Structure 1
Amino acid sequence: MLATGASARAQTAAPSLSTGTPPASASVNGTAATATPAAPAPAAAAPPKTWAEGITYGAQVEGGVTGNFDRPADGLNYGRLFDDKANTALLNSVQLTATRAIDPTLSTFDFGFMLQGTYGSDARYTHYLGEFGHVTNDRNQFSILQANVTMHAPVLFKGGIDFKLGQFATLIGYETIDPSTNPFYSHSYNFNFGPFEHTGLIAEAHISPTVDLYGEIDTGESTTFGRGDNNAEPAGLVGVGLNSLAGGKLTVLAFLHLGPEDATNAIGGEANSSMRYEGDVVATYKATDKLTLVAEAQWQHDDFYGADSYGLAGYASYALTPTLTANFRGEVYRDNAGFFVAAFPGNTDAYRGLNGLSTTAFGAGRQTYSEWTWGVSYKPVIPHVALLAFRPEIRWDKSFSGGHPYNALTNTGNFTLAADVILGF
């Protein structure tokens, strides 16, 4: 998590330790899920795959540009991270993935893994402390996103328990680091200034078809072990998932991450005892075959700085055609101490800030932010191409506090026009 006070997130609205993908009731890749067709007559059962045959490989490239009509003197879209450079074409990410998903429905043990790395301008914000943060000062950098092993254990509950050990994207929040699972190129304040990644162990217990319980112990936000942690204490997460409510149309996920997050380099020994709490609730409602609605509420509190943030965001996605989806996002975000929302002009500011070192990062003080984003996602079906997506958007940001956070701290509002392209294989 990035903040001016000291510290510097990605899973879907309905995470799964087995696949990392949303359930059928969620908006998938920014497109509202369609009704499931009637099942055909059963075919002859395919022979079971060997463990190695379950391994898949993928590559994904994203690039985009955000036109800022204020032409800010500092060249920044304030309140943004992955799309923070105004009027500048960005190579956001070249993402490579090797994975074997576990099958949580098996009555036997199953093992898998995920290795995922990225190169591009987004990597400035997705480093784990102690990994590749000082390799280059360039805008495009390399970072590990996920490196973990997974296990499905058919124990204790009918659905068993799934485990993940290593480095992984946070379960908190609706939006994700992976652009292919988001409705927009730009991100919400909830996403930008909440947690990104963790190192540790997480368990997902399938108590019943309706209830999943989550528990996690980790080193904190975007940190690792030893010198890769910015303090000397662990953190953790608890959560619950409610599935197939309202006749299968509604999914609710609630998580709380807690632990010391401030850096010893910034506040000394108090970093080990000063807690930060981050709570997030996401409700996804599949209203019709074409319309998906999502509501997210987020709260954060940092003990040492006495800082709180409160975020409310709503999403609507409507499938106009099988390949074209209209999307909307509206959000209000209160940063009551000017601690969480910030801009990071330097290419290593986010990494240095996570470690409590000096940076050129700056904030706009106490503000109530809002943003309203409209866009479409066009995803044509092309043979031998896993994904081609084009996502233009219009966005209006506004401070409800009368402050001037935008256009190099001179404007109360900001209008941007942006688009990106995602190509996956």
Structure 2
Amino acid sequence: MNLSGKKSGLAVALSVASVLVAVPLKSAKAQVHPFSAFSSGGSDLSHWLSDVTLIGQIEGGIMANPARPNPGYNFGDFLADHANQVQLNQAEFTLSKAIDASKNTYQVGFTLEGLYGSDARYYHLVGVSDQEWKARYQLIPAQAHMDVHLPWLTSGGLDMQAGILQAPMGVEGLDPASRAFYTLAYTSEYSVPFQHVGAMFNWHVTPILDVTFGIDTGNQTSFGASDNNSRPAGYFGFNLNNLLGGKLRIVELSRVGPENSWMSVGHYEADHAQRFWNDINATYQVNDKLSLTAEFNYLHDEGIRGARPDGQFRGADAESFVSFLSYKINKDFTFNYRGEIYRDNNNSMVATFTTNNSYMNAIAGRPYSTMTGPGGHGTTYGDLSLNVAYRPDLGNHIRIFQLRPEIRFDRALNTTSPFNGGRNDGMFTFGGDAVIGF
């Protein structure tokens, strides 16, 4: 299948969405009985459709930079990259039928999510939507997948998602309502993948142990000529749930596969140079008010090259540690802390993309424009972020309302000056975002 043919990327995305909607409608009795999973019947179809939901959410924000960088970018910040400018990050709608994890029966559901805004620039798929838009505000199919629960192997069964998937690795994701901060940590931007076309499986081995595995075309690529190389990539890992009386959860995910474009490194190198992603995080719920999260990430890429003094080459490495603290002050206010150390060993990871399509052009292997860290040796970055999130229960069909004023301190910890147009070794930004969902 080649998604870069005569159809536009948007047309392909709409086609995918229509197929994924059609499949569940033909499987209307999936929850009724395993032997009648594909039979028809009006009453069963109505029952299957009864818990389909449509939700929407809007987010906008700003991170002000008193240093007034020239050019006007907050270095190392994807979602609030334009300093001192308010922007619409996301306007999204999600149509879905969820799987009920408490029932180990045959079940079929789906998720369809469309997203418009400035965040979309970083979450495209090559060959699906990456060439449709040139402005800062762009449109993507953020999710379009069929969801299946299979009562196989163990009492917990096996879950599968297939289609356009949001990458599962890491603590911070695309949905602003599911993360503590408006901005993202370096780890969440440069050392975890964003989007996939493929299939993910979660096997509930025991109430404590889940095993995760999956296969896809690569990070933010699709099929055929719209893949930046000709080899797949995949995940493997585990979850440990309900440890220490339900207070502790540990998630480990590893990923391996080639991720570099043949247009950048050649066909053989693109197919054989592997990228190894590894992320483990643990969340401990101390009490009803306080929770702690720690994340360790290590990435190695055999295909990203940097010259050594002897003229030879080596792969790129990055390792990081991120700590989070969340304290619920009362039912409406929560204090959040994030501290991070991120080591970019040869300045191959951290960069700011200075045109609206540069990030996706870099993944595809096309020409792109960036501001990078200092050359010559690696950089160790520090990030300290603080906020107080205001999240009242407004009712009246308002699913979520959230205000998050944020201050952030970034610093290069080894005497380099990557910030504010290369003038400073540190950067102070402040601002935040507002989210409303219905």
1:90 equivalent in structure 2: 87
Q: Deviations over 1:146-168 (max 9, x none)?
A: 11001111110110000111111
Counterpart residue type for residue 379 of structure 1: R
Q: Which residue of 1 aligns with 2:300?
A: 301
CA 1:291–1:350: 2 relative to 1, 3 Å: same
Question: Alpha-carbon deviation of 1:49?
Answer: 8.3
Q: Is the 8 A contact 1:219 1:225 kept in 2?
A: yes
Distance 2:258 2:371 in 1: 22
Structure 1 distance, partners of 2:93, 2:349, is 30
Higher helix share: 2
The 2-side partners of 1:340 and 1:364 are apart by 9
The answer to whether structure 1 residue 70 and structure 2 residue 67 are counterparts is yes
Amino acid at match of 2:73: L
Aligned partner of 2:205: which letter?
Answer: I
Equivalences for 1:92-241 in 2 at 5 Å? 92-193=89-190, 194-241=192-239
Partner in structure 2 of residue 250 of structure 1: 248
Amino acid at match of 1:422: V
Contact 2:216-2:233 at 8 Å conserved across structures: yes
Deviation at 1:385, TM superposition (A): 0.5
CA apart distance, 1:98: 0.5
Amino acid at match of 1:417: F
Alpha-carbon distance in structure 2 between the residues aligned to 1:250 and 1:351: 37
Which moves more between the two structures, 360-369 or 94-103?
360-369
Distance 1:50 1:207 in 2: 30
* Secondary structure of the corresponding residue to residue 334 of structure 2: strand
SS in structure 2 opposite 1:283? strand
Q: Which residue of the other structure, out of 415, 421, 424, is the alignment partner of 1:402? A: 415
Name the counterpart of 2:47.
50
Structure 1 residue 281 corresponds to structure 2 residue 280: yes
Q: Is the 8 A contact 1:104 1:160 kept in 2?
A: no
Equivalent position of 2:426 in the other structure: 413
Write the deviation string for residues 350-384 of structure 1: whole angstroms up to 9, x where unpaired. 11111111111131142100000110110111122
CA distance in 2, matches of 1:115, 1:399: 40
Change (3 A) 1:172 1:107: closer
Alignment match of 1:360 (pick from 361, 369, 374): 369
Structure 2 SS opposite 1:353: helix
Tell me which amino acid in the other structure corresponds to 1:289: D
Query: What is residue 24 of structure 2 aligned with on the other side?
Result: none
Partner of 2:371, secondary structure, is: coil
What are the superposed Cα offsets for residues 46-89 of structure 1, whole Å, 9 maximum, x if unpaired?
xx982101211011000001110110011000011011110001
Identity level (%): 37
Q: Is the 8 A contact 2:284 2:291 kept in 1?
A: yes
1:185–1:418 CA contact under 8 A, matched in 2: no
Structure number with larger C-alpha Rg: 2
Per the alignment, in what secondary structure is the counterpart of residue 90 of structure 2?
strand
Aligned counterparts of 2:285 and 2:363: Cα–Cα separation in 1:
38
Correspondent of 1:320 among 326, 329, 335? 329
Question: Which structure's relative contact order is higher, taking Cα pairs within 8 Å and 6+ residues apart?
Answer: 1
SS in 2 for 1:187: coil
Structure 2 residue identity aligned to 1:260: P
Counterpart CA distance in 2 for 1:309 and 1:49 is 51
Residue type at the aligned position of 1:209: P
Change (3 A) 1:288 1:389: same
| Match status 1:351 vs 2:350 | no
Q: What is the alpha-carbon distance in structure 1 between the residues aligned to residue 162 and residue 104 of structure 2?
A: 21
Whether the aligned pair in 1 keeps the contact of 2:142 and 2:165 (CA below 8 Å) is yes
Distance 2:89 2:168 in 1: 22
Q: Over residues 101-142 of structure 1, what are the superposed CA-to-partner deviations in whole Å (9 max), with x where a residue is unaligned?
A: 111222320011101111010111010111221222111001
Q: CA RMSD in A?
A: 1.3
The one-letter code matched in structure 2 to 1:196 is: F
How far apart are the structure 2 equivalents of 1:296 and 1:355?
29
Does the Cα contact within 8 Å between 1:311 and 1:332 map onto a contact in 2? yes
Does the CA contact (< 8 Å) of 1:109 and 1:151 recur in 2? yes
Deviations 1:220-253 (A, max 9, x none): 1011111221110000000100000011100000
Inter-partner Cα distance in structure 2 for 1:367 and 1:87: 26
Equivalent residues of 2:213, 2:235 under 8 A apart: yes
Question: Is residue 2:387 matched to residue 1:388?
Answer: no
* Partner SS, residue 421 of structure 2: helix
Return the TM-score normalized by structure 2.
Answer: 0.85
Is the CA contact 2:60–2:90 (under 8 Å) kept in the aligned structure 1?
yes
Alignment partner for residue 389 of structure 2, among 377, 390, 395?
Answer: 377
**Separation of aligned partners in 2, 1:384 and 1:81:** 31
Partner of 1:342: 351
* Structure 1 letter corresponding to 2:124: H
Distance in 2 separating the partners of 1:197 and 1:135 = 17
The count of corresponding residues between Structure 1 and Structure 2 is 379
The secondary structure found in structure 2 opposite 1:191 is helix
Aligned-partner SS, 2:257: strand
Residue by residue, what CA displacement relative to the aligned partner does 1:197-239 show, whole Å, maximum 9, x if unpaired?
1111111100000000011011110111112211100000001
Partner Cα separation in structure 2 for residue 387 and residue 104 of structure 1: 24
How far residue 336 of structure 1 moved from its aligned partner, in angstroms, is: 0.3
Q: Counterpart of 1:362 in 2: which secondary structure?
A: strand
Q: Which aligned segments of 4 or more residues in structure 1 are displaced greater than 3 angstroms?
A: none
Tell me, which stretches of 5 or more residues in structure 1 are unaligned? 1-47
Amino acid at match of 1:274: A
Distance in structure 2 (CA, Å) of the matches to 1:406 and 1:107: 52
Q: Which consecutive unaligned segments of at least 5 residues does structure 2 have?
A: 1-44, 306-314
CA shift digits 1:158-213 (9 cap, x unpaired): 10000111111111000011111111111100111121111111111000000000
Is the CA contact 2:104–2:149 (under 8 Å) kept in the aligned structure 1? Answer: no
